[in-house]
Amino acid sequence: MQAKLKDRITTTEAVIINVNYVLAAGVLTLPRTAVEAAGTSDVWISVILCGLLAMVTGAVIAKLSQRFPGRTFFEYIRFIIGKPLGFLLGISVAAYFLSIASFEMRTVQEITGFYLLEGTPSWAICALFLWVALYLCLGGINAVARMCRLIIPIAWGIFLGVSLLSLEIFDLNNLRPVMAEGVGPVWRALRPTALTFTAGESLLFLVAFMDKPKKVMQVVVGGNAIAMVFYLAAVVLSIGAFSTDGVITRTWPFVDLIRSFDVSYLVFERFESLLLAIWILQIFCTFCIAYYGAALGVSQLLNIKFKHCLYGLLPLIYIVAEIPRSINGLFMMGNEIGNWALIVFGILPLPLLVVAYFRRAGA
């Protein structure tokens, strides 16, 4: 099942979808996970390196998808490695998207229950997330693109505002000295940072819907560059405010950063509720994109109607989301998903591109 002609997105919309797929719960937790691995404040260097590395892996995935115009990864993989192996790899990718959707939904459940709606049943939060996402995804990739485009100015504006206000408690000395222990800490922080930065996988199906697939490199560079700025700001501001010792003691460092300053001359003196309410919409974007990718993969691999796959995956997403028994279990789940992504999307695309070239598969 090839992408329908009416389901087309512009290059700008593809960039927006790619950015929204990357920017999710990682902004709230990356400062802690990166500093825990590095032990120093040099993790901002790791963020930049991972951003550049994500551009490279994204470029490989983009080149691979360009060889099969109008086809998603789930359709063209069988032309590269055969139907049996292609089916297994396709199912693995679809399961990955489903796991991402489950992880993001559970993260919203934890954040909402702790900061915003204390005492609200978790099933109520999840049900709202699932049914609204189902309604949106039934409208196709264009509806998802419009939703992302609507949320961007609100979420990004709030993020920029609270970042600027947090400068009043920012201390540049907490980021010094730079690389005092050499490149070791930077190297150690690459892995947890890379787990957050895996983003090229959305191109496995986005390229098929682009009206100008030849401009996919703009999506790779633009999407990853914008995401890198957000993650860099979250890491630098959190460490600058709390120091490395303070960051690792906080579950959600960036949220605690916003809770740490007061602005009495504005209408709102506390901004964490406002940011979280808006950032939950940002996480919702990631959830919808991953949910759409999982349903599209199952639909094309098993030759089932896309609408039926959307309905069928709803209970499965909820079941997977409820597997972690605690917040620590949720973070462990995130690490496992990240390791999965590094193998499937960081290592495999290049060999697949080489095989496709020598077998003359695709354009």
Domain assignment of residue 361, yes or no:
no
Tokens of 172: 């540049």
CA distance 8 to 140: 10
Q: Are 283 and 25 in contact (CB under 8 A)?
A: yes
Domain assignment of residue 363, yes or no:
no
Domain assignment of residue 68, yes or no:
yes
Domain assignment of residue 362, yes or no:
no
SS3 47: helix
- What does the buried/exposed string (b/e) look like for 258-282 if buried means 16 or more CB atoms within 10 Å of the residue's CB? bbebeeeeeeeeebbeebbebbbbb
CA distance 134 to 77: 27
Q: Which domain holds residue 255?
A: 11-355
Q: Among residues 128, 129, 107, 131, which one has the least CA distance to residue 276?
A: 107
Domain assignment of residue 360, yes or no:
no
Q: What pTM does this model have?
A: 0.91
Domain assignment of residue 2, yes or no:
no
Q: Which residue has the tokens 């960051």?
A: 247
* Count of alpha carbons within 13 angstroms of residue 348, beta-carbon side: 19
From residue 215, alpha-carbon distances to 59, 66, 207, 323 in Å are 11, 10, 9, 40
Number of structural domains (the chain) is 1
Q: Among residues 209, 247, 216, which one has the least CA distance to residue 6?
A: 209
**For position 4, what pLDDT does the model report?**
44
Q: What are phi and psi of 269, to 5 degrees?
A: -95, -25
State the 10-residue block means of pLDDT for the chain, 363 residues long: 62 91 82 88 90 89 90 92 92 94 90 77 85 92 92 87 85 86 86 74 90 90 89 91 89 82 58 76 91 95 93 94 88 84 84 88 69
Domain assignment of residue 317, yes or no:
yes
**For position 289, what pLDDT does the model report?**
93
State the CATH number of the domain containing residue 110: 1.20.1740.10
**For position 2, what pLDDT does the model report?**
43
Domain assignment of residue 139, yes or no:
yes
Q: Among residues 342, 283, 351, which one has the least CA distance to residue 54?
A: 342
Cβ count within 10 A of residue 82? 10
